[in-house]
């Protein structure tokens, strides 16, 4: 259950923040303003350093320009470069909030980034193994990012490491089911399969992340069609009808 919850947050924070960035870029284009790309399929990354070249790219550019380079970048020897990298990630954690959980999150990324640079570990791995290592580390690090306290984060991590696969509570599964899906399953008279939906949904999302084109790639190849217009109308209508159930933008607190 804890693995499912951690994976859900990993997907939630990506789709929430990436979607918000897409909205900002799209609205800016309506005013003939071109904003820089902020996400480039970060969960396809096969190393922590590659992840940060793809995730929240505007923040990475900011820290590179105004902190990493002024500190000396990689021009002052190997040890100083590692120190500069660590400082960037340490302050990146602090930038997200004055909480030990964010500091630990930043320190974790800093240490693994330095280890990768020093020992080139991902270059010695098969692509599948390097992706599993990267995606697994990102999932674990998000636990610390999301937790209210270090104790909460460690409780979740310890629970996962116990590998106690006793099933998943129905109350947890129910939170992953939209009311619209419940109605659809009820109309189709297949409500007995309702609790399979969250697992299928998560698998589909992961396939989209790993195999699908990101927004920027789609934008470069976009050609209007009747099907795309219909899809847009359906999604827009669904969004309008869901206004009463709106939730806050997850990343707004940062």
Q: Could you give the residue numbers annotated as active site?
A: 96
| Neighbour-count burial for 46-74, b at 16+ CB within 10 Å, e otherwise | bbbbbbbebbbbeebeebeeeebeebeee
Give the Cα separation of 235 and 19 in Å (integer). 14
Rg of the chain over Cα atoms, rounded to whole angstroms, equals 20
- 247 neighbors 12 (Cβ within 8 angstroms): no
Give the Cα separation of 54 and 45 in Å (integer). 8
Provide the sign of the torsion angle of the four alpha carbons 211, 208, 129, 112, taken in this order. positive
For tokens 């009311």, the residue is 179
Give the Cα separation of 3 and 199 in Å (integer). 12
């Amino acid at each position: 259950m804890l693995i499912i919850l951690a994976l859900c947050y990993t997907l939630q924070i990506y789709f929430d923040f990436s979607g918000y960035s897409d909205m900002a870029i799209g609205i800016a284009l309506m005013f003939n303003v071109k904003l820089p790309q902020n996400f480039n399929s970060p969960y396809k990354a096969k190393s922590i350093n590659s992840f940060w070249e793809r995730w929240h790219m505007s923040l990475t550019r900011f820290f590179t320009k105004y902190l990493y380079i002024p500190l000396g970048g990689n021009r002052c020897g190997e040890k100083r470069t590692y120190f500069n990298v660590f400082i960037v990630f340490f302050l990146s954690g602090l930038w997200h909030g004055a909480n030990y959980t964010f500091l630990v999150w930043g320190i974790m990324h800093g240490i693994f980034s330095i280890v990768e640079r020093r020992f080139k570990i991902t270059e010695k791995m098969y692509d599948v193994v390097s992706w599993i290592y990267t995606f697994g580390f990102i999932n674990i690090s998000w636990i610390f990012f999301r937790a209210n306290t270090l104790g909460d984060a460690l409780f979740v991590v310890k629970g996962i490491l116990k590998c106690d696969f006793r099933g998943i509570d129905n109350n947890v599964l129910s939170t992953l089911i939209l009311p619209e899906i419940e109605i659809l399953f009820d109309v189709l008279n297949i409500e007995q399969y309702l609790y399979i939906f969250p697992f299928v949904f998560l698998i589909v999302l992961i396939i989209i992340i790993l195999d699908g084109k990101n927004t920027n790639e789609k934008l470069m190849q976009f050609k209007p069609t009747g099907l795309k217009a219909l899809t847009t109308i359906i999604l827009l209508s669904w969004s309008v009808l869901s206004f009463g159930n709106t939730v806050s933008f997850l990343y707004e607190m940062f």
